[in-house]
Structure 1
Amino acid sequence: MRETTTVRRRARLRPVRPAGWWFDLLLLTALVGLTVALSADQLFGIDRAVADWADAHRPTAARWTAVILNYLGQGTPLTLIAAGLGVLLAVRLRSVRPVLPPVVAFALTYLTIGPLKVWTARPAPSASTKEPFLPPAQTLPLFQDELPVRFAQSYPSGHVANAIVWYGVIALLLAPLLRSFGRQMPRRVVTVVRVVPPAVVLCTTTYLGWHWLTDSVAGLLLGLLLDRLLHRVPWDDVPLPRRLRERDRPFISHP
């Protein structure tokens, strides 16, 4: 008797908005251009002006509110939440595929955000008021390799980039998870999940003086670029190893 095989449709990239690779190229060009400008000691006046304004307008209540809101961008809790949603959906659908987005997102952020921080070696604005107590002018330039790594990891903002990536993954998993319980996730809720937390993190990180404004902008550009790459992946059709095919069921397009 001939063994029957399941024919899987050809994997095609999922659509993103704006459509096309031109926007990805624009984000990458903007990130490279911003990095080049900072390496040439440009835009420091804007960074200093924003940081000085924040320092002069940070009463205790506002500071603690910003600190609490900034927890929305903590990478480790977001990773665990996304992984937990992936595992829960995998159990609900008896499919290994919902675990793939958190795993790939972790690898992608680990291989990009951290290395960029180490390579650019830029201190944070607060490096002049706490250890290593640098002169204010020395906290602005990139490529200060003479500093210990822990004091020069400000560019780009990992909080902002992580928030964009992980809330994008959470939104990707929440919709099918609710659908597995017979509920629908309104599109406007998806938009709120993907937009509001990263926006809050960008503002609070800059306001608290934990990052320069250009650090946060760089984190925004990098995060959007990674988010678009992740959302292009045809998660329902990615080829799986033979040993996993018994749990090879779609999750994005499942009924």
Structure 2
Amino acid sequence: MHDTPKVRPGVRLRPVRPAGWWFDVLLVVGFVAITVSLATGHLFGLDRAVDEWAAAHRPPAAFTAAMVLNHLGQGGPLTAIGAALAVLLAVRLRSVRPLLVPVAAFALTTFTVGPLKVWTARPAPSASVKEPFLPVEQTLPLFQSDLPLRFAQSYPSGHVANAIVWYGVLALLLAPVLRTYGRGLPHRVVLAVRIVPPVVVLCTTTYLGWHWLTDSVAGLLVGLLLDRILHRVPWDTLPLPGRLRDVDRPFTSAP
């Protein structure tokens, strides 16, 4: 199955792996299934079991290490690094196209993950041990819109979703940046950049009790879907306004 349907003359979607739209549909179905299960009171036992195990296995050294490693998923620094790489590449190539990538990533995550958090209104596990000090049973359900917004933004995990999207952006920009300096980026390094940090963030976020396991899994599904959307965009051939055509050069590597 080809993953490059023609959009308009000269513009084709970039291929992703696994190819085709079936995997995107699977991600959406998975997210909907988890959301419906939580909304109907299921999976609470799994979430509590994982959280209780983590709480009972947090020696100081492991806790500190998890805190440090979890910074890999901080959205602000990731956005700044992605923007810096895009600016560097734009200057090196004298092209506006690299700047489109972090702008699109920021817009896509802002208008999907944020609204989902507000809509689902789920507290974090830690809401039972610090403000607002909810009973444990009340920290599990979705749609608790009666709580202040700052206490009910746990589902899906923004740390996990942002990590997947932004490390995908870094991988997309890093290879062409290095090429401008006459260096290559091995494929295994690209895979490591895209896979290792999000997995670390998922594990540490859940281990620290900042998110329920289902929050993290839902963030994984949303992040993968957004990542596939961004990597399908034909960055080198998107039509640009006339004023920008003087600073129009391709930058992505061949897929």
TM-score interval, smaller chain: over 0.9
Is the aligned partner of 1:152 residue 2:152? yes
Q: In structure 2, give the amino acid aligned to 1:215.
A: D
Q: Which residue of 2 aligns with 1:4?
A: none
Q: In structure 2, give the amino acid aligned to 1:150.
A: R
Stretch moving more, 193-202 or 8-17 = 8-17
Q: Which residue of 1 aligns with 2:71?
A: 71
Q: In structure 2, give the amino acid aligned to 1:60.
A: P
Q: In structure 2, give the amino acid aligned to 1:104.
A: A
Q: Which residue of 2 aligns with 1:88?
A: 88
1:136-162 CA distance string (max 9 Å, x none): 000000000000000000000000000
Give me the whole-angstrom Cα distance separating, in 2, the residues matched to 1:90 and 1:253: 15
- Residue 60 of structure 1 and its aligned partner are, at CA, apart by 1.0
Q: In structure 2, give the amino acid aligned to 1:173.
A: L
Q: In structure 2, give the amino acid aligned to 1:248.
A: D
TM-score, structure 2 length as denominator? 0.96
Would the aligned equivalents of 1:121 and 1:153 in 2 still touch at CA under 8 Å?
yes
Identity of aligned residues (%): 74
- Residue 253 of structure 1 and its aligned partner are, at CA, apart by 4.1
Distance 1:51 1:253, change over 3 A: closer
Gaps of 5+ in 1: 1-7
Q: Which residue of 2 aligns with 1:228?
A: 228
Q: In structure 1, give the amino acid aligned to 2:180.
A: S
TM-score, structure 1 length as denominator? 0.96
Q: In structure 2, give the amino acid aligned to 1:200.
A: V
Give me the whole-angstrom Cα distance separating, in 1, the residues matched to 2:97 and 2:224: 23
Task: Please list, as runs of the form range in 1=range in 2, the aligned pairs for 1:180-219 lying within 5 A after superposition.
Answer: 180-219=180-219
Q: Which residue of 1 aligns with 2:52?
A: 52
Q: Which residue of 2 aligns with 1:125?
A: 125
SS at match of 2:112: helix
Could you list the runs of 4 or more consecutive aligned residues of structure 1 that deviate by over 6 angstroms after TM superposition? none
- Residue 61 of structure 1 and its aligned partner are, at CA, apart by 1.1
Gaps of 5+ in 2: 1-7
Q: In structure 2, give the amino acid aligned to 1:182.
A: G
